[in-house]
Amino acid sequence: MPRLLLVTVIIAIALLIFALVDISLTPSKSVKSLRKWMWAIIVIIPIVGPALWFVLGRNRSGRGGRVSPIIYGAPDDDPDFLRSLKRDEEQERRIRELEEELNKLDDDDAAK
């Protein structure tokens, strides 16, 4: 029985610390219902407080009420991906040009 009590106390303290850290790191826009400092007071209630915070206190989507970003189906539908491909092609072309120039310089040095 004392072991069960000890385990329960350790779990309650761990939940308290985890919930307080989560409250402090959560942006104010993502907190529902009450202000952050009010949730910090509620979390002090053992077991029930942290459970209330995780169920009712924060916006679980993590977006803070913002509009969700557009999700593209395939990589070639994503404009950022397409821009990165173009940038990569440009870098490869520039590397080839520089290598050709170095080869010409090496050939000129070998001919002398």
- Domain carrying residue 54: 1-63
Q: What is the pLDDT of residue 61?
A: 62
| 68 part of a folded domain | no
Which tokens go with 46? 């053992």
How many independent structural domains does the chain possess?
2
Cα–Cα distance, 50 to 43 (Å, whole number): 5
Cβ–Cβ < 8 Å for 75, 81 = yes
The distance from CA 60 to its chain's CA centroid, rounded to whole angstroms, is 14
Per-residue pLDDT of 52-92, as tens digits, reads 998 888 776 655 444 455 665 676 677 787 888 889 899 99
Please check whether residues 2 and 55 belong to one and the same domain.
yes
Helix axes 2-25, 36-43, angle to 10 degrees: 180
| 14 part of a folded domain | yes
| 42 part of a folded domain | yes
Q: What is the pLDDT of residue 63?
A: 52
pTM of the predicted protein model:
0.51
- Can you state the percent helix, strand and coil of the chain, rounding each to 5? 70, 0, 25
Please check whether residues 82 and 47 belong to one and the same domain.
no
